[in-house]
Amino acid sequence: MSDEIAYSPPPRRELPETPKNFSILLIGVMICIIGTLLINQGIDAAKSVGWSIVLSMGLLAAGAMLILAGASRIWPKNQAVDIALIVAGILCIMGSGALIAGNPGGTAYAIVLTLIGIALIVAGVKVAAQAWKRFHR
């Protein structure tokens, strides 16, 4: 027997996925920036429509909440209250439509831009958060 030790190569180290995770993180940040730019464009479009869009969206939200409150039967023993809530909600939604009847295209454009911007920010934050978790493992 010889006193020589058999050669074994050093274990392979896998390269970290840092560049990949960092690029995904940057993509998430870019999606957030695009979302904020779209929200800014939506706000500019809403300014051109005027205050009617603010009142219209408020009435739309109030009408939806009143209809949901009436449909969930808050007062089960007094159905007149539930019916009154539903009717008030329908009237609020009709008032919302009447407020934006003068410029429905501009209003829809402002609302869609703002909602797409919000959705892009949410998606960008989720992408960046996942990449950040993998980046710091």
Instruction: Give pLDDT tens digits along the chain (137 positions).
Output: 566 777 777 777 665 666 777 888 899 999 999 999 999 999 898 888 888 888 888 999 999 999 999 999 877 888 899 999 999 999 999 999 888 888 888 888 998 999 999 999 999 999 999 988 887 76
Looking at the whole model, is its pTM more than 0.85? no
CA atoms of 87 and 63, how far apart (whole Å):
9
Question: What is the spatial distance between Cα 134 and Cα 137, in angstroms, rounded to a whole number?
Answer: 5
* 109: three-class secondary structure by DSSP: helix
